[in-house]
Structure 1
Amino acid sequence: MNPLNKKIGIIGGGQLGKMMILDAKRLGFKVVTLDPTEDCPSHSISDTHIVASFHDKEAYKTLAESVDVITYEFEHIDADLLIELEEAGHVVYPTASSLKIIQNKFTQKSLLREKGIEMPDFIKVDSLEDLKAAGMKFGYPYMLKATTGGYDGKGNAVVKNEDDIENQYNVLGGGKVDLMAEKFLNFSKEISVLACRGIDGEITVYPVAENIHKDSILDETIVPAEMTDESQKKAMKMAHDVMEIFEGVGMFCTEMFLDDEGGIYLNEVAPRPHNSGHYTIEATISSQYEQHIRAITGLPLGDVNLISPVVMRNILGSGQAGVSLVTGIEETYKNPRVKVHIYGKASSKPGRKMGHLTVVGNDINQVRKEANEAYHSIKIIGGDK
């Protein structure tokens, strides 16, 4: 079958799905989206939009029967239904079995630790007594994490001392969700590396990105990351090794920590294009979205070399919640090197990811300055109508 004749199904119609579709449509692919929100960002550019829950078995079946390959833009979907589709002969990339492992942080990290990937030590915890034992093992502070469902810092808590155990245990459900405890790592930087694997096993690894978070949400990505060549090689090798372990097809993002001695430690893995990879649209020869579409349809992978240093800033909703209103775009675009991406979400609320901007240039310090100026010029707020 000619790869360009394949029809692609995407579970999730948010900004990552939208950006996948933009590259898919450039190559002429037909795309079917499954998302419960009628006016999701992907709606206007999908050939077909199945409006249904992410746990609707019949909707998954309808999607599978209308496409040649299924992919997804985020992890919190029904992996068991995807496994059933695979068993029925449908193609899912990344594989449903990989997703099933990665969805649970404990099973994800257990497999990766078994395969020799460096990471902070961790244990499963089921009770207050287990949390006290974690304090004895790791000392304080340590991290307490829900094993499933967390994102943007949700599902994580820092246990500061023994007196803080019961409070943080209750913050994370008080025993209603599975938990794990993880040794607290004094890191110097949070970094991430994108990697992509084709159906034939070809792997490409993107440059190391340095990520700065505010309130546990990614605020700024800087590429190249300021770190030694040796540490960069370690980080890129870890991302490559993760791809081999999962035998993934498509984009994966490996989030990592860098310590003061140049050591690299895994944080977690996302089997999809990633927020920290938005910079690739303007700054690499093949963006993460194009590369993902190439991979899942069997096309040869593209070059991922960095064209220019780059900074990406997330644009979050601010002000009140309400109908999305973009302000300051004219001022922002007075700098011709700024690229703004508006996701098209109908409603804005404080802290919601509504868009991003990138600036490229030869001097990374100047690029950061210009990106910061642009970031403070543009706002997405909630209006009344």
Structure 2
Amino acid sequence: MSRNRRGPQGKGGGARRAENNKIYGDALPITFPLSTDYNEDKSLSLLARGFRIGGTILNPNCEVVFDKTTHSAWTFSSRDAMILWRKGFFGKGDLSRSEPSWLSRQINALKAAKKGELTSEEIREKRRAERKQFKIDRAKAIADAAAEAEAAFIEGREANTTFIPSGATWKPQQQNVQNAENVLIVPEEDEESGEAVLEEDEIPQDVEHLQLTLQETFFLSWAVNCLTVHDPTKESPMTLQEIWTSFQAVHCITPSHDHRFDNPFIINYAIYHYYRSLGWIVKGGLKFCVDYLLYKRGPVFQHAEFAIMVIPVYEDPADQENSPFQLENSDPMSWTWLSTINRVNSQVQKTLVLTYITIPAQSRISPTVLSSPACLSHYTIREVVLRRFIPARMRD
């Protein structure tokens, strides 16, 4: 009997896992020189231990540009993009689903086109088109069978047998053979790899950028101190004070919105910093109807284990009544909504966590504390784990 050592959420075989450990093994962009401790532990706890023992820290000093319109920061350097993604999985490629891989995908597509083959993306789209056509053909066959049965009943005869295709019997129609002049010419291949060789002028220019959220940007600038943020309207880099105030200002339409404890940036950053400081890899969870997803090591190693739903709670109800911000989930939720979110995440084997963050009362604390990240100490975070009861699985 074969054994599955990978587990239900593992990704890749042994060789691939070893390669991923080598490429994506660091939890943060800053690293320590190779040592015994470094090989054994690359978690955030090593950072503090490195300071205590006087270890040397290697800082990549990446640079990004703040974009107020998109509420994000962009890096235009391929080097910085690879460092930020491979060392902590920060940001996402603007032309990719996660890792900035647009250039490699374009090169693979050109090589496949030269060899007359299909890329993985083209194969996926082809399969989707075939599934769509299968559904159309099956629906048409069912409708024809129903019409034939009704006609036979009216005419008083036995209905003719109508073939209804299934997933095992249905086959897509063969595509027309290309004309001779359209047949692709296979170029010379590399003798060692067997891949098509591209000329230097055939390789496209890398136009993809890595996009960071405001929470990721401030965490890398303030907590890790490995990121320099530039304002496109200024020549000099932004200071931490300018970054802190500018990131809050993107949510403020009028000056009356300033200096409020329910600023969306502060609330989301408090949650992001909380989980990042505990060693989790934090990514956006919009795909699963939640705010964040928590990974133990990162997306290339295993699927996210927890889905985080941020629920703001006002200490003073009067602050919510006069708030200019419409915070998501701040109003009482319905059981229908909660059951829907829980079922979505249960189907993909994620545990739903309701993360309550208590917003301090404006009347109790002076708004001047919002001028620095020291205000984060006034927020309280509580967690409630919610699991969907499945009778067939939980009898034991």
TM range (shorter): under 0.3
Q: Which has the larger radius of gyration?
A: 2
TM-score when scaled to structure 1? 0.24
TM-score when scaled to structure 2? 0.23
Higher relative contact order (CA 8 A, sep 6+): 2
